[in-house]
Structure 1
């Protein structure tokens, strides 16, 4: 995406506003929505580049809004290091010129995440296996992030299974997403794929993302977050499935 046309700017603003609403209501989902919608309009690489600044800003805010940053970092640092390594390693795929394959892979990841989140049972990870499981989960999350630009799998189900308090879980998700964003930017940059016009629009996208988060918090007080989340995941599945099968037609 080298042409900052009015339709592309309008689509980016609308996408990040809606993504911000989802994050404001559910506490997550901004990168997933942004990659899903923009990845269906432009290449996944261009979508991931646009995602970098708004994702970083919103997730840093989420990370430092809680009370337990230091204890969460001590507990999860092996997972975070593995996320960095996996993301940088996998980013060569999203930076490749094969947009058909990367779009299909992104769509498959979105569809799988939606179905898993809708229907899977809540898992519980015993403390005794967390020490060796965390790096494995981090590496898998990093590889998927590098390949698709989506930060959620398997990090989100894993963190939800650790038995963290609500505030600590929100902060842990903020830590994971922040590290993933930084690692994705580093990986794309190492491939020489960052472009100035994309980064400029990425900076501007912070405004609708924050506005959407504010609107999402307003909406959260007036509707059931569970109902909203189910509707969002159903739409995300349809979008991901369409992207996954698009190369067949």
Structure 2
């Protein structure tokens, strides 16, 4: 059955498009959070596993644009500098994606939402996490495992990635490049993982492909906004977006 058959009203389709458009704007402006916003917003409108399937192709597209905007030379340098984190994230996405079809939906939302809210609240309260130079390898390993597990299960590995990059004092411009590379390679792994798990299939791929259009328009608007955000505002917006989305995920897991 074509998944569009389950979207039985123009209002529901408009809401799905609006969530994707908003996710694209945020992605273009702060460099991440598209899958988190989509899985949170679409999870209120569609069956959660369909929501995960729907975000796959839009995030492959958006992360590809982010890498190209940063430049291939910068992207290659990011791969060399963050190879360990990338390796762990990509491996864990492939592994954890296979468990999405057996983990209860409520548990999936809670496992994603609780750590996001806790980590964001810590930083917004001024208790900024900081990883010293001699703990960077351990930090990359822990954050990589957490990011990859969350990525495979709910299609988002942004929260721990951003928190890790903030904790090692990555500048705004550099952070956007690194995020683009991590999310770009990770999204390819997510695509492969869910082709294997069966979440992305002949019934769900049409919706995912269709949502590339509003996601691309949203990113274009977000890119315009990004250039007007200073470092302090960038960090605050990043954390607030994660906090709100995380709270919504917890609500979904409890209701």
Q: TM-score, normalised by structure 1?
A: 0.83
SS in 1 for 2:168: coil
Q: Of 184, 187, 190, which residue of structure 1 is paired with 2:190?
A: 184
- Assess if the C-alpha contact under 8 Å between 2:106 and 2:253 holds in 1: no
- How many residue pairs get aligned? The number is 246
Shift of 1:153: 3.4
Cα 1:195–1:7 shift into 2, 3 Å? farther
Query: Structure 2, unaligned stretches of length 5 or more?
Result: none
Q: Counterparts in 2 of 1:79-228, with a 5 A limit?
A: 79-96=85-102, 98-108=104-114, 111-112=117-118, 114-116=120-122, 118-119=124-125, 121-219=127-225, 225=233
Q: 1:169 deviation in Å? A: 1.1
Instruction: Give the Cα separation in 1 of the matches to 2:243 and 2:145.
Output: 28
**Alignment partners' CA distance in 2, 1:75 and 1:66:** 16
Aligned to 1:236: 245
Give the Cα–Cα distance (whole angstroms) in 2 for the partners of residues 86 and 231 of structure 1: 27
Structure 1 distance, partners of 2:227, 2:89, is 34
For residues 97-155 of structure 1, the C-alpha deviation after alignment (integer angstroms, 9 at most, x for no partner) is: 73343344444455446535533643333333323432332122111222232212322
CA contact (8 A) 2:62 2:216 kept: yes
Q: Please tell me the root mean square deviation across aligned C-alpha atoms, in Å.
A: 2.8
The answer to whether the Cα contact below 8 Å between 2:92 and 2:145 also exists between their aligned partners in 1 is: yes
1:31–1:114 CA distance, 2 compared to 1 (3 A): farther
Normalising by structure 2, we get a TM-score of 0.82
> Relative to 1, partners in 2 of residues 1:154 and 1:228: Cα closer, same or farther, differing over 3 Å?
closer
1:245 aligns with 2:254: yes
Mark the runs of 5 or more structure 1 residues left unpaired by the alignment.
none
